[in-house]
Amino acid sequence: MTVDRRTLLKSAAAAGALGAAWPLTAGLSPAQARAAAERLGARYDTAPFTLGVASGDPRPDSVLLWTRLAPEPLAAEQDLPDIVEVRWTLAEDPGLRRVVARGTAPASATLGHSVHVPVTGLTPGRTYHYAFSALGRTSRTGRTRTAPGGTVGRVRFAAANCQAFHDGYYAAHRGIAAENVDFVLHLGDYIYEHGQVGGVPEDHVRDHDGPEILTLADYRKRHALYKGDPALRDAHAAHPWFLTWDDHEVVNDYSGSTGGAPFVRRRAAAYQAWYEHMPHRDSFGDSALPDPEIHRTRDWGGLVQLAILDLRSHRSAQNLPDGTILGTDQKNWLKHHIDNAPDTWHVWANSIMLSQLRGSPGGPYMFTDQWDGFLAERKEVLQHVHAAGLEDLVVVTGDWHSAFVDDIRTDYDDPESPLVGTEFTAHSVTSGAYSPEWNRTNGPVMGAANPHLKYFEGNRYGYDVYDVTPERFSAHMRVIGDRRDPDSPVTTLTTFHVDRGTTGSHEDQATKNSPAQYRRD
């Protein structure tokens, strides 16, 4: 029988013995930590490739391959030489017989024995398979895909966010691994940094992720614990990923451009650990640290232009008249992207909600950690979208642990202001949402207070799949039955469409009677 991760943590906390259940409790040996992780459903690949393989940032002629050597995944330091040569192979077939490229890369202790290999000279729009070998062992085989070089008639991609390990199993990632998609987009909160706080409420375990993490060793172990869930490794091995981040990769609600020396050290440790564990391509290579470059644009077959935003590293404090969530350089880059955008679908990967969200009609904003804390800059950017004549804008968002569909307007305080796009906010993979009672009560309240809000559903967990053609952008909300079940089935809750050349979304008639806590008629 599979152990229920959330119930085990609740029981341990109620008995005053959380340390007996949580793998990253201080004082545990690496073997004890791994045994505790396995009691919570972790299953690692064969050493030294325990954390699996991944690929990322696909381009028409290249892709980034990743792995990390971690024979003892939950150890603070690996018992390895300072530098280990890792062989990699990329081939056209799963058996790796039709080899396209191969080489070696150094895995250094400085970067946690991680490997980031940018493979170039590839054929556009082609599926490839890859593996690594080192220390007499070979990794599992991963599958990846390059971006198309010409025009395509369809793009499919999945979006995931907010995957607290302690809140449930990654059945959603098992679903993503099985999807027929071109790539996966992760919108942030890949890990959670916080520690144990007080008791464990019946339906809310999110404040119980062991001791709070502060150092590079802490963040490395937290990433390694999360990658212990086999479904997450399967999703990485099945598809190439594009990545951004939110706050919990470092600390809740942080602003990357402010803070004293202790915070700067903590942020640098968190950023390095994130880089060590992600298939992230940086224009500066390994010298990108301590500040990896997140924002970028990528074209997919002339059908989708993807703009990936970094809404943490460059922001100021919230609620300032001249506050910034983008930072000067990134805002200028985004405006340039808007001004020079091709005639295609424009998709912004956005880690926190862009649309206004008031708690009651005319009342205060609910969460100013979102774009609601940067009102002037939001209006400036959206008015620039309108002035530039940018059409077919779709913003995909994470963070809220619930699903929203919003119209995007240049001025949310004026419901008659120009409509310039649609925002889809996806369910979380596992991270705890508000209670069903809260959702039932506040769904209609949010609907009344926010005339641009078209849909809200907060009782489920899962991911989105976006299906894009020249005529239509469709958002399929995939949900799991139970985050306590690693084999939970995946179904489609509802589907929304945006038609090309028509600003605004509409729900598919076939799913319009699905459960929701708010739906605008």
User: Hey, what are 326's tokens?
Assistant: 């983008």
| Beta-bridge partner residues of 305 | 299, 346
What is the Cα–Cα distance from 422 to 408, expressed in whole angstroms?
Answer: 5
What is the Cα–Cα distance from 236 to 144, expressed in whole angstroms?
Answer: 9
Helices (H), 22-92: 30-39
Phi, psi of 13 (to 5 degrees): -65, -40
What is the Cα–Cα distance from 162 to 410, expressed in whole angstroms?
Answer: 28
pTM above 0.85, yes or no: yes
Residue 33: the pLDDT is 95
Task: For residue 206, count CB atoms less than 10 angstroms from its CB and return exposed for 0-12, middle for 13-18, buried for 19 or more.
Answer: buried
Assess whether the previous peptide bond of 48 is cis (omega < 30° from 0).
yes
- CB count, 10 Å around CB of 82? 10
- CB count, 10 Å around CB of 380? 15
What is the Cα–Cα distance from 329 to 244, expressed in whole angstroms?
Answer: 17
What is the Cα–Cα distance from 275 to 281, expressed in whole angstroms?
Answer: 9
Phi, psi of 44 (to 5 degrees): -95, 155
- CB count, 10 Å around CB of 79? 8
CA 461 to chain centre: 14
Domain boundaries, the chain: 155-188+295-519
Q: Where would I find the beta strands (DSSP E) of 82-182?
A: 83-91, 99-108, 114-119, 127-134, 137-138, 142-145, 155-160
Residue 289: the pLDDT is 81
Contacts of 28 (CB under 8 A, 6+ apart): 36
> Given CA atoms 114, 31, 232, 237 in this order, what sign does their dihedral have?
positive
Q: Are strands 83-91 and 127-134 parallel, antiparallel or unpaired?
A: antiparallel
User: For 155-188+295-519, CATH number?
Assistant: 3.60.21.70
- CB count, 10 Å around CB of 362? 7
Position 108: which residue type?
Answer: S
pLDDT along the chain (521 residues), means of 10: 60 50 88 94 97 98 98 96 98 98 97 97 98 98 97 98 96 98 98 61 40 92 98 99 98 91 95 97 77 96 98 96 97 98 97 94 84 97 98 98 98 96 98 96 96 98 98 98 96 98 97 97 84
